[in-house]
């Protein structure tokens, strides 16, 4: 087998060495260039989405629980005893004030009235006889035709006849009133409920069970409650220059969350706080021509409490909480750095927070990219206000 030598000529060794050195330099240059680009990208500002805070005029509303209540309610009870002869209304229908609802058998009351009337007429006749006698004795006593005692007796009899006639007249009027009570009439206008008795039933004076109930439903009241704390906070807010009193108009949300088509008017506020609940009762009046609202329904009343003419609203996605539970927000300062603000919130309005303190007009609130930044970072803000709220970006 022929022998192969590993000898490399010096000239060839030099060429190989030069090639290796050149490759090493190229590698070092490429790595340096790559590290330079990486460092440059690391120092570039991070892009974040910001919401440009603008003050707006908004109506501060509150939903309060309430119950509907008839404006007028009357329980029908008999004022005399007797047998129900007729029922003259349709249950659940409308009745007018003065309509006859029931007729109690009037026979004995008519007889009592006739008797009282006759007694009164008899007493009137007795008056005339005693008056004439008193007149004659008055003349005779002057000429000593009768004794003074006889005259005084005749005069007394006349006065007694007058008193008796008045007594009989009062008895007749009482009998007439009782006769009138045989017709049970509607004291108010409204819708009448079911009847607790039927024709032929016996009713008595001062019975506890009403015969029926009439309720006036148009208009109708809604009584609702507000806590005394909320009332105090509202009064304190109204002392601020940017807060104005709200409207007395109120709206209604029904049990199925549908909005009632007629607006109401705030009528009154109770003058005392309920010690058991710590709340104040308010009352509103609503038109109810379709009789949609019935007494006792649970509803929610939307009250325009006040108007904030310079409200600061912040998207909820830009507000977070620290470990203490305090609300915080990150904003872009004028120098482009990220700053943290401690803020105080008032209430949620749809998907925004109403901010009391901590944010002001033209602050740039960071709402996107929050997970990529920390306090002190320099960022590149991109205004996405119109993207978040296309129709709600104009300042006040």
Superfamily of chain region 106-181: Helix hairpin bin (1.10.287.470)
What are the tens digits of pLDDT across the range 277-307?
778 888 889 999 888 999 999 999 888 777 7
Fold for domain 81-104+182-209? OB fold (Dihydrolipoamide Acetyltransferase, E2P) (2.40.50)
- pLDDT (mean) for 156-162: 82
- Flag the least confident range among 38-52, 111-125, 263-277, 322-336: 38-52
Name the pLDDT band for 9 (thresholds 50, 70, 90). low
Which has more confidence, 30 or 194? 194
Both tokens of 44, joined, read: 């570039």
What are the tens digits of pLDDT across the range 353-372?
888 888 988 889 988 888 88
Strands (E), 78-208: 82-87, 94-95, 100-104, 183-185, 190-192, 202-203
Any idea which architecture 46-60+310-388 has in CATH?
Beta Barrel (2.40)
User: What is the assigned CATH class of domain 61-70+216-308?
Assistant: mainly beta
Angstrom distance (rounded) from CA 39 to CA 118: 123
What are the tens digits of pLDDT across the range 207-236?
889 999 999 998 999 988 887 777 676 666
User: If you search the block for the tokens 């919130």, which residue do you land on?
Assistant: 345
Q: Where are the domains of the chain?
A: 46-60+310-388, 61-70+216-308, 81-104+182-209, 106-181
Name the pLDDT band for 310 (thresholds 50, 70, 90). confident
Which has more confidence, 267 or 367? 367
Of the candidates 222, 220, 167, 169, the residue with the CA atom closest to the CA atom of residue 191: 220
Per-residue pLDDT at 13: 53
Distances (CA, A) of 255 to 67, 279, 288, 365: 11, 22, 16, 38
Angstrom distance (rounded) from CA 251 to CA 236: 24
pLDDT at 255 over 50: yes
For residue 264, give the 3-state DSSP assignment: strand
- State the pTM of this model: 0.64
Instruction: Give yes or no for a cis peptide into 29 (omega within 30° of 0).
Output: no
Per-residue pLDDT at 396: 43
């Amino acid at each position: 087998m022929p022998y192969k030598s590993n000898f490399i000529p010096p000239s060839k060794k030099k060429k190989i060495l030069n090639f290796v050195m050149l490759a090493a330099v190229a590698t070092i240059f490429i790595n340096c260039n790559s590290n330079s680009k990486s460092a440059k990208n690391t120092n570039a500002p991070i892009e974040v989405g910001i919401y440009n805070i603008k003050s707006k005029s908004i109506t501060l509303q509150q939903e309060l629980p309430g119950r509907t209540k008839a404006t007028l309610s009357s329980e029908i009870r008999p004022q005399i005893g007797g047998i129900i002869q007729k029922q003259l209304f349709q249950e659940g229908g409308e009745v007018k004030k003065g309509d006859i609802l029931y007729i109690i058998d009037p026979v004995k009351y008519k007889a009592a009235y006739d008797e009282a009337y006759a007694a009164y007429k008899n007493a009137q006749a007795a008056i005339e006889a005693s008056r004439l006698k008193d007149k004659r004795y008055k003349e005779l006593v002057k000429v000593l035709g009768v004794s003074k005692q006889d005259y005084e007796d005749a005069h007394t009899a006349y006065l007694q006849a007058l008193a008796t006639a008045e007594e009989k007249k009062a008895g007749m009027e009482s009998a007439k009133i009782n006769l009138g009570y045989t017709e049970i009439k509607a004291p108010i206008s409204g819708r009448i409920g079911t009847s607790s008795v039927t024709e032929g039933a016996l009713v008595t004076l001062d019975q506890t069970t009403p015969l029926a109930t009439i309720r006036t439903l148009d208009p109708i009241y809604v009584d609702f409650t507000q806590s005394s704390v909320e009332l105090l906070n509202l009064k304190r807010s109204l002392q601020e220059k940017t807060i104005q009193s709200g409207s007395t108009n109120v709206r209604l949300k029904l049990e199925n969350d549908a909005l009632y088509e007629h607006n109401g008017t705030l009528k009154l506020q109770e003058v005392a706080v309920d010690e058991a609940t710590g709340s104040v009762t308010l009352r509103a009046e609503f038109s109810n021509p379709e009789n949609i609202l019935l007494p006792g329904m649970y509803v929610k009343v939307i009250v325009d409490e006040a108007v904030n003419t310079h409200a600061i609203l912040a998207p909820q996605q830009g507000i977070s909480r620290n470990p203490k539970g305090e609300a915080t927000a990150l904003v872009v300062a004028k120098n482009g750095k990220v700053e943290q603000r401690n803020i105080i919130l008032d209430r949620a309005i749809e998907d925004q927070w109403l901010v009391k303190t901590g944010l002001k007009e033209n602050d740039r609130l960071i709402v996107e990219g929050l997970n990529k930044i920390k306090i002190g970072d320099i960022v590149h803000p991109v205004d996405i206000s119109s993207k978040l709220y296309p129709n709600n970006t104009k300042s006040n």
